[in-house]
Amino acid sequence: MKTGLGILLSLGLVVTAPHLTVIASPLLVQTDLRQEADRLLQEAFELFQSGTLEGYQGALGKWQQALKLYQQLDGKLEDLLQK
């Protein structure tokens, strides 16, 4: 059975003492954002292929959400490269 600290460490989180600040790895956050953006993009394609007005409208919403995430990822990558 894992302890709370063990679970945090196994999830790729960094815990520092004495303030017990928990910081997520930037790479882990980027991976999560990328997976979410890719999932939204796939859902958009599936909705678009329905050929209905509702499908097109749903696809547009998903594409807009994915675009925001991809733009966030691009900004995070630029920040990491500048450090």
pLDDT in tens, 2-32: 444 444 444 454 444 455 555 555 666 678 8
Q: Would 48 be classed as within a structural domain?
A: yes
CA pair distance 17, 41, nearest whole angstrom = 40
> What SS3 class is residue 51?
coil
Does the residue 56 lie in any domain? yes
Residues 26, 15 contacting (CB under 8 angstroms): no
pLDDT in tens, 30-80: 788 899 999 999 999 999 999 999 999 999 999 999 999 999 988 776 666
Count structural domains, the chain: 1
User: How far apart, in whole angstroms, are the C-alpha atoms of residue 33 and residue 27?
Assistant: 10
Tell whether 32 is covered by a domain.
Answer: yes
In a domain, 12, yes or no: no
Q: Which residue range(s) make up the domain with 29?
A: 25-82
Count other Cβ atoms within 10 Å, centred on residue 62: 20
16 falls within a domain? no
